[in-house]
Amino acid sequence: MSVLIKVCGARSRSDVRLLAAAGTDLAGLWHGVPGGHAELPFDTLTDLTRTALAGGGPEPVLVTFIGDADRLAAVILASGIHWVQLHAYQPPALVRALKAAAPVTVVKVLHLRDGRCVEERFIGAYERAGTDLFLLDAVTDDGRLGSTGRQLTGAAVHAVADRLNRPFLLAGGLTGTLSEQQALIAAHPRFYGIDVDTAARDEHGRLAPPRVDAITRCWRTAVPE
């Protein structure tokens, strides 16, 4: 299989074009992430969505904490985006509502704290509601979600992934070098790709072509075709 590469937090047309040139598959666009370093107003979300779709990629993904189904469906339909990543603790009912309201691919984040999945008892409900893809990420002790830079262990990821009937993406401390733990995770039969933010940026917080290229090269070869 070809590993799916998602880089999160694009903030400009040049960011979108940079990710396209690097051959990434998905570009995370933040909207409804209060205080997020890459939060976009709706007009910019729509502009970057159109830029990505018109340029042939990467596929734009709305990354959001929004939990109101009507509001979120309105954003999806008005922006023209086709993928949404539910990055907070939105319930399975929201997935079902979105699937009924819009032709959208839903990625639901599952948060791991101290090696255990916070949403473990809802996994089946998320799948029945129509979740297409999960993303496994760490949550910090103080509850911070996303861009934590915390690596997950192979054992913790396998314990969750073995319960899934959908493929998953991996996030948390990923770089252009594959660690032993990450190689173990990449060998799981439902591993589908990665989601990167911090490691794709330079010391000023800007997306950096050499770093994106290194990540893409490394992870493209993580799983044999």
What pLDDT, in 10s, does the model give residues 43-102?
Answer: 999 999 999 999 888 999 999 999 999 999 999 999 999 999 999 999 999 999 999 999
The closest alpha carbon to 197, from 181, 219, 175, belongs to: 175
Which residue type sits at 139? Answer: V
- In sequence order, the β-bridge partners of residue 36 are none
Contact between residue 219 and residue 5 where contact means Cβ atoms under 8 Å apart:
yes
Note whether 75 and 62 are within 8 A (CB): yes
Report the DSSP beta bridge partners of residue 191: 168
Contact partners, residue 114, CB within 8 Å, separation at least 6: none
Q: What is the pLDDT of residues 142-167, one digit of tens each?
A: 555 555 667 888 999 999 999 999 99
CA distances from 21 to 24, 30, 39, 125, 204 (A): 8, 21, 23, 38, 21
Helix (H/G/I), strand (E/B), else coil: 78: helix
Q: Do residues 110 and 125 make contact, with C-beta atoms less than 8 angstroms apart?
A: no
Most distant CA atoms of the chain, gap in Å: 43
**At 55, which amino acid appears?**
G
Does residue 177 carry a pLDDT above 70?
Answer: yes
Alpha-helix runs per DSSP H in 144-193: 154-161, 180-186
Contact between 140 and 164 (Cβ < 8 Å): no
Domain 4-220, CATH: 3.20.20.70
Q: Name the token pair of 40.
A: 């976009």
Q: What is the arithmetic mean of pLDDT over 5-24?
A: 96
Instruction: Give tens-digit pLDDT for 101-119.
Output: 999 999 999 999 888 899 9
In 3D space, the residue among 173, 218, 210 whose CA is nearest the CA of residue 195 turns out to be 173
Domain boundaries, given as residue ranges, for the chain:
4-220
